[in-house]
Amino acid sequence: MAEQVEELVNLTIDGRPVSVPKGSVVWAAARKLGIEIPIYCYHPKMDPLGACRMCFVQVEKMPKLATACTTQVAEGMVVITDSPQVKKARQGTLEFLLINHPLDCPICDKGGECDLQDFTLRYGPGASRFDLSKRHFQKPIPVNEQILLDRERCIACQRCVRFCQDVAMEDGLVMQERGFRTEVGVEPSAPFDSIFSGNVVEMCPVGALTAKSYRFVARPWELKRGATVCGQCAVGCNVLADVRVDKLLRQYSRTNDDIDDGFLCDRGRWNTDLANSPERLRQPLIRRDGKLQSATWDEAIALVARSLGEIAQRDGGEAVGGIGSTHTTNEEAYLFQKLLRVGLGTNNVDHFHGRFPQGDNDAQPWVWSDSIAGLERASHIVLLGADPYLRQPIIDLRIRKAIRRGARVWVVSPAANRLDRLAAGAIRYQAGQVGAVARALLQVTLSERLTRGAFAEQRQASLAERLAGLADATPEAVSAAAGCDAEALRTLAREIAGAKGAVILYDEMATREATGETLAADALDLALLTDNFGRAGAGVGPLLEDNNSLGARDMGLLPGSLPGYRAVDDEQARAELSAAWGVRTPEAAGLDYDAMLAGGVKALYVLGANPATHLSEEGRAALAGLEFLVVQDLFLTETAKLAAVVLPAVSYTEKDGTFTNTERCVQVVRKAMLELPGARADWQILRDVANALGLGWTYSNSAQILAEIGRTTPIYAGVSRHGLGQTGARWPLAPGATEADGQRTLSGSPFLTWEMLAQGVAKGRGSDQLALSAGRGEQA
């Protein structure tokens, strides 16, 4: 499909020509030229309002001054932003705003990053003509558990209220009273409990709304600000981490339109425990006389290498296993599986994840084929057992944006959801039955002949067999077993089949439910057979659990897959890795997560995970009874308390690397603060253990590891920190534009097509059997 050419409008601002898309406002055109037009009420992510009257400009042939935030550009328009009339109007606006605004800048948390302060200095009057008493209010007033309101500082720009009503689409802040008595307040009948509430603090142009956690803590000029990626969930929001004296004080949004749309959830904004907790480990621990006691790094590393090496040599590599993390960086996950495979000769490496079908060279239908931004283009969005509000909040916010654009959302979940009141339909079922619901939707699609598109047409001969395998999944049968509405299931299946573009999303951990074994494959079949695949605004995939859940899989933390989802017995892959690593990897698939914890190994290396929380008391006793258990983590977790050696690691704000989010976007994580004294980055610890085993690893920084990933992992081919830039790229990666310095950027596909999967881009269950799950369909 040919891309639509964007229509541009040409205009002149302060004598400088500029071209911007049709429909843009004058303010956006001026910003493109680097010309500042002061604003208070306007926000680029909300519709123009024109309430503050601060952005006046002079437009040729217009009799009066115009507001730059509401005036759309026109061909040949001539705009002046600094004429005497404009300057006088801005001074008047600021003078009115300052009449009752308190002169408390020295104690205001916004001081130093306040738009009123800055614009008064640049555009305001030199002195005030008003010497009457200013109004006073009780201060501060808590509007929720995290946010305080100082009413006398409010300039009634309405940004906060409009965010609640128009963006978050939830009750919360409202404008109260009228005229000069206008003030912000909380809706009496609705508590301001939104998980997006912190955004109003960030977008408030003055110090009216401030965070409790930051109140009277620091001044902006005392902060060291680092651009990185949030590590709180699988979305991968871009953030600015503000640090003072090696303490993470807050995280502000760093706009990446394709991922976070410029917003941040409260968990990402204020949860600083990973970096700041006094419970963090500060030195290695070794078990002596039954108790974990302090040790030096040299002692701990030597003991880990010696113990693992001896067990592997005595009983074979299959006696050793490794459980990796969904929180560590791609570089660290890659080194972990390399250490197990090269240093200890075992494919016993896995992590805690959803259950996705996998087998010998067989594909895995677990990749979200579309993108977060693509949700805006969907006509239908279906959530199967997923609650992004609680688990991936910014995706929930993007779904709300899609609703404002006309999308019909169906919430299929066992419990009430914050999206219910905005949804076109909601289906409740008994917990643990989401897999049965997905099978019912597929059954209706096949039994009513709702299939469409080239994929379904090419497989007509196998559809009857697929339908026969769903004999127990009629809406009536599933309704009886799962307690849901059979007619609602039929209605939803028909809407999916007739949708202009439907996105089907399910929670990764729903695949671990009793009926969830085939959930991923069934959801993929449903999308493929209804032609909701392979384009923006249509697709299917899981909402993953943690910040690097997908990266852990990509890097080979799977017992049957090498980095890039190549099977462990793939001779070509083994030969290529042998040339790169200098050692032939084991050919037999290893033990998975559950098998290792069920006693399948004698020694276990746990990296950034806490498997003890998934075990019974008997299982924990077995874990403690291992011949050797080493745990690498930030805290003394339940698993770490059972270990023979504990190695202290650092948080994502204390190291460099990359994360891969739930939509396949690889992003650069940048170190924002110094490491906690006594702790080390996971990749450094793994390197030291490898060298103690005699592997001779020479990595001195994470960029070198990433470069190796680019050489050994096909879907990450050519990856580099520079190429990923500030906003990242989705795999499969491809060369992008050449920059002035001669270096290439990286680009990626915003969505996956069936052809990409068939060509082995996302290997898993084989090109011809990816759909019509588990080989039940006929090969094309």
CATH assignment at residue 292:
3.40.50.740
Given a contact cutoff of 8 angstroms between Cβ atoms, the answer to whether 385 and 434 are in contact is: yes
pTM: 0.93
Cis before 140 (ω within 30): yes
Position 555, amino acid: M
Residue among 425, 422, 418 at smallest CA distance from 403: 422
Given a contact cutoff of 8 angstroms between Cβ atoms, the answer to whether 437 and 384 are in contact is: yes
Q: Which comes out higher in pLDDT, residue 780 or 82?
A: 82
pLDDT in the model for residue 191: 86
Q: Which residues contact 132 (CB under 8 A, 6 or more apart)?
A: none
**Which SS3 state, helix, strand or coil, does residue 67 take?**
strand
3-state percent breakdown (helix, strand, coil) of the chain, nearest 5 = 35, 20, 45
Q: Which comes out higher in pLDDT, residue 129 or 596?
A: 596
* 515 shares its domain with 404: yes
* 643 shares its domain with 691: yes
Tokens representing 108 are 């205001």
* 495 shares its domain with 513: yes
CA 506 vs. chain centroid, Å, equals: 15
For residue 632, give the H/E element and its range: strand 628-633
Integer Cα distance of 615 and 598 in angstroms: 9
Integer Cα distance of 640 and 286 in angstroms: 11
For residue 385, give the H/E element and its range: none
Integer Cα distance of 328 and 333 in angstroms: 7
Integer Cα distance of 556 and 714 in angstroms: 12
Given a contact cutoff of 8 angstroms between Cβ atoms, the answer to whether 258 and 265 are in contact is: no
For residue 515, give the H/E element and its range: none
Is residue 770 situated within a structural domain? no
* 540 shares its domain with 553: no
For residue 44, give the H/E element and its range: none
CATH number of the domain to which 492 belongs: 3.40.228.10
* 644 shares its domain with 729: yes
Percent of the chain scoring above 90 in pLDDT: 84
pLDDT in the model for residue 359: 34
Is residue 727 situated within a structural domain? yes
Contacts of residues 420-423 at CB distance under 8 Å and 24 or more positions apart, as own/partner, are 422/169
pLDDT-based confidence at residue 757 (cuts at 50, 70, 90): low
Q: Which residues contact 256 (CB under 8 A, 6 or more apart)?
A: 237, 238, 262, 726, 727, 728
Is residue 697 situated within a structural domain? yes
Backbone angles phi, psi at 65, to 5 degrees: -65, 150
Tokens representing 542 are 């899981």
For residue 687, give the H/E element and its range: helix 682-692
Given a contact cutoff of 8 angstroms between Cβ atoms, the answer to whether 98 and 124 are in contact is: yes
Last residue of a domain, one of 67, 82, 97: 82
The CA–CA distances, whole Å, from 756 to 638, 748, 750, 759, 761 equal 42, 12, 12, 5, 5
Tokens representing 77 are 């328009």
Torsion of CA 747, 750, 753, 756, to 10 degrees: 20
Q: Which domain holds residue 432?
A: 373-544
pLDDT in the model for residue 766: 29
* 599 shares its domain with 533: no
* 492 shares its domain with 527: yes
**Number of domains present in the structure of the chain:** 3
Given a contact cutoff of 8 angstroms between Cβ atoms, the answer to whether 373 and 399 are in contact is: no
What's the residue count for the chain? 780
pLDDT in the model for residue 779: 26
Residue 775 predicted with pLDDT over 60: no
Q: Among the listed ranges 174-183, 529-538, 582-591, 662-671, which one has the minimum average pLDDT value?
A: 174-183
Is residue 599 situated within a structural domain? yes
**Which SS3 state, helix, strand or coil, does residue 87 take?**
helix
Placement of tokens 């779904």 in the chain = 399
The CA–CA distances, whole Å, from 279 to 241, 275, 300, 491 equal 21, 10, 20, 52
Last residue of a domain, one of 523, 544, 565: 544
How many CA atoms lie within 13 Å of 308's alpha carbon, on the beta-carbon side?
A: 30
CB-CB neighbours of 82 under 10 Å: 13
* 561 shares its domain with 538: no
Using one digit for the tens of pLDDT, what is the confidence trace for 556-583?
999 999 999 999 999 999 999 999 999 9
Torsion of CA 215, 220, 226, 231, to 10 degrees: 10
Tokens representing 545 are 């659990």
Using one digit for the tens of pLDDT, what is the confidence trace for 114-130?
999 999 999 998 888 87
Position 246, amino acid: D
pLDDT in the model for residue 178: 84
* Degrees, nearest 5: CA angle 306-635-682: 50
* 389 shares its domain with 454: yes
The CA–CA distances, whole Å, from 748 to 447, 716, 734 equal 37, 10, 6
Residue among 607, 599, 563, 570 at smallest CA distance from 341: 563
Is residue 669 situated within a structural domain? yes
Is residue 429 situated within a structural domain? yes
* 440 shares its domain with 573: no
Residue 520 predicted with pLDDT over 70: yes
**Which SS3 state, helix, strand or coil, does residue 164 take?**
helix
Three-state SS letters, 235-282: CCCEEEEEEECCEEEEEEECCCCCCCCCCCCHHHHHCCHHHHCCCCCC
pLDDT in the model for residue 5: 73
- Start-to-end C-alpha separation, the chain: 25
Burial of 505 (0-12, 13-18, 19+ CB in 10 A): buried
Q: Which comes out higher in pLDDT, residue 758 or 388?
A: 388
Integer Cα distance of 728 and 215 in angstroms: 33
* 670 shares its domain with 750: yes
Last residue of a domain, one of 544, 564, 595: 544
Given a contact cutoff of 8 angstroms between Cβ atoms, the answer to whether 593 and 351 are in contact is: yes
Residue 680 predicted with pLDDT over 50: yes
Tokens representing 184 are 């912000």
- Mean pLDDT, rounded, for 236-250: 95
Integer Cα distance of 28 and 34 in angstroms: 10
Residue among 137, 53, 154, 141 at smallest CA distance from 101: 154
pLDDT in the model for residue 769: 32
Is residue 270 situated within a structural domain? no
Tokens representing 540 are 């299917």
Torsion of CA 92, 93, 95, 96, to 10 degrees: 120
Integer Cα distance of 600 and 620 in angstroms: 14
Integer Cα distance of 144 and 194 in angstroms: 9
DSSP state of 672: -
pLDDT-based confidence at residue 6 (cuts at 50, 70, 90): confident
Residue 197 predicted with pLDDT over 70: yes
pLDDT-based confidence at residue 645 (cuts at 50, 70, 90): very high
Tokens representing 573 are 């892959």
CATH number of the domain to which 72 belongs: 3.10.20.740
Position 194, amino acid: S
pLDDT in the model for residue 740: 62
Integer Cα distance of 296 and 286 in angstroms: 9
Is residue 91 situated within a structural domain? no
Using one digit for the tens of pLDDT, what is the confidence trace for 456-496?
999 898 999 999 999 999 999 999 999 999 999 999 999 99
Task: Name the most confidently modeled range: 387-401, 515-529, 743-757.
Answer: 387-401
* 559 shares its domain with 589: yes
Using one digit for the tens of pLDDT, what is the confidence trace for 426-455?
999 999 999 999 999 999 999 999 999 999
Integer Cα distance of 608 and 328 in angstroms: 7
Using one digit for the tens of pLDDT, what is the confidence trace for 328-365?
999 999 999 999 999 999 999 999 999 887 533 334 55
pLDDT in the model for residue 743: 64
